[in-house]
Amino acid sequence: MRLIPLAAVLLMSTATAALAQPASPPISEPPYAALVPPSPPGQQGRAERNVLAAQERIARIDPQLGSVIALDPTAIAQAQRVDRAGPRGPLAGLPVLIKDNIESAGPLPTTAGSLALAGNVTGRDAPLVARMKAAGLVVVGKTNLSEWANIRSSHSISGWSAVGGQTRNPFALDRNPCGSSSGSGAAVAAGLTRMAIGTETDGSITCPAAINGIVGLKPTVGLVSRTHIIPISESQDTAGPMTASVREAALLLTVIAGSDPADRATREADARKRDYAANLRADALRGQRIGVMRFASGFGTDEPFEAALRTLKAQGATLVEIKKFDEGQMGVNEFQVLLTELKAGLNDYLKGSPANIPVRSLADVIAFNNAQAAREMPLFGQKTFLQAEKTKGLSDPAYRKARAASFQAAGPNGIDRLLKQYGVVALVGPTMPPTWKIDAVNGDQISGGGAGSLAAVSGYPHLTVPMGFVKGLPVGLSFIGPKWSEERLLGLGFAYEQARGPLPGPLFFRSIEESPAIAPLLKR
C-alpha cells in the first residue's frame, strides 16, 4: 500500500562501468522475434535461453538495486517444460518476476518482506501465477517490497523490508523506488525482465511504476484473483502488470485476468475479461473527450504534464478541464476500512497457511516484531498494526459505514460523476511527483500526489504510462476510468505511448546530482 490522500501536499561495486549504459532498450514495442530466435536442434530452447539471460542480468545489475529478493531455483525446469511443449502464445518462454507477497509453488517462501514469514513455503501457486505458467511464462524470482506492503507504519521507508533490505531507484541510486511494489518497478526499469507482477491497495502499482519510468496497471478489483496473496484489504487489493510497454501490460493482463471460485470478488471476471492487446491502435485517441484533472496536478510535474496534454490533443483528443473536486472525508474513511480489513484478512491468511510459521494472527506478528525489534523495527515501528489490532471486525457498524462512505465518495460521487458531468471517457493527470531521496531518519518525504486514491478506493482501473522526466527523474501520466474499463484505458495509453515516442532508460547514477545535466550547475 502507498496511501497518498488526494488532498495531500503530500555499496556500489567498483566494477560498474557497464552500468554507465542503459540496462534496457528504450520503452517501446517489445521485439519478441529478436528476443527469442529459433533454436538449432539439440541446443537450449528459447525459454531456457531467455531465463539464463535474465539470471545473468540480475546477477550483474541487481546488486546495486536490491530489487530481487530471491531467484526461483525451479526457473530452468519451468523453461525446459515450456520449450518441450512448444509455442503457446505471445508470452510463452518469457521471464517474469512476481512480488514477494504472491505465492508460487517451489522452495521459495512468500514473506511480504517480514522475517516472521521467512519459512512461509506453501507449495502452491496463486491462481494468477498458475495462469502465467499455463501461458508459458517463466517465474524467475520474487521482488522485494515495502514490508507488509507498506501497511505496518505510516512512517515507513518505501522499498525497505527486513528480508530484502532497501530497493533503490535505477535512475538515481540514492532515491526511492516508491512502494509497495518497489522491486517490481525497479527491476523492469533496469531491464532485468520486461514484465513483473505488483499488487496495490492504494498506489502500490502505479506509484512505483511512474517513479521508475515504466507502465503499471491497477485493474478493476475483481478482474484478477487475490487467492494466495498476502492481503491488506478485501475492498481494494488487486494484483496487476508492471511492464516496459503498454502492449506488454495488455498481454499480461489478458493472461492473469479471470474468475476464481475462491475469490468471490472475481465472479464477473470471466464475463468481463477481454483480449486486451487485440485492439490496440495508434489512433485510439482520435475523437475522444478526456478530462484533465487540474485538481490533482502540480507537485513539480507541470512541464512534462503540459507536454503530455499537447500530445493527447495532437492525436485528436478533446481535452476538458476539471479544476475542482472535493474528496471530503474519503481518506479518513478509507483508513478505517483498511485497518479493519487488514486484521480480518491477515488473520485468515496466516491461520490458513500450510507452512510451519510462528505467527497465526496479526497479534502474533505484533509480538514477533517486538521480540525481534532489532531486526524488524530498527528504522520505524508498527503503529498501524497496533491500530488495526484494536478494530472490531467486519460486522462493526462503524466499519460498514466508513466503507460505504469512502466507496460512494470515490466511485459514484467521484470518478463516475466526473465522467458524466464533463462528458468524458477517461480522466488524466500526473501520477506522482518525481522520486524523493531515501531517508532513514524521516521516512518517505513525498511532495504531493495525483488522483490515484479515487481509483484505489472505488476499485476502478488506473493505468500509468511514462510521460517524461523532471531533472532526469521519471514521472508518469495517469489514465483513470470506470469499472471494467481496462480495454479503453490501455487503448488510450497505447496511442499516447506511440505518439510520445521512446524514452531513455536509467543510467544508474549514484545521485541525480552527479548527472551531466545537473552536476555542472552545482559548481561555483
Catalytic residues: 99, 180, 204
**Cα maximum dimension of the chain:** 66
Q: Is 501 left (phi over 0), alpha (psi -120 to 50) or beta?
A: left
Identify the residue whose cell numbers are 531507484: 169
Residues 6+ apart with CB under 8 A from 130: none
Q: Residue 71: enclosing H or E segment and its boundaries?
A: strand 68-71
Please give the Cα distance from 116 to 361 (Å, whole number). 11
∠ CA(182), CA(72), CA(464), 5° rounding?
30
∠ Cα 475 244 124 (to 5°): 115
Is the CB of residue 206 less than 8 Å from the CB of residue 216? Answer: yes
313's torsion region: left (phi>0), alpha (psi -120 to 50) or beta? alpha
3-state secondary structure 478-518: EEECCCCCHHHHHHHHHHHHHHHCCCCCCCCECCHHHCCCC
Q: Which of 103, 7, 64 is nearest to 327 (CA)?
A: 7
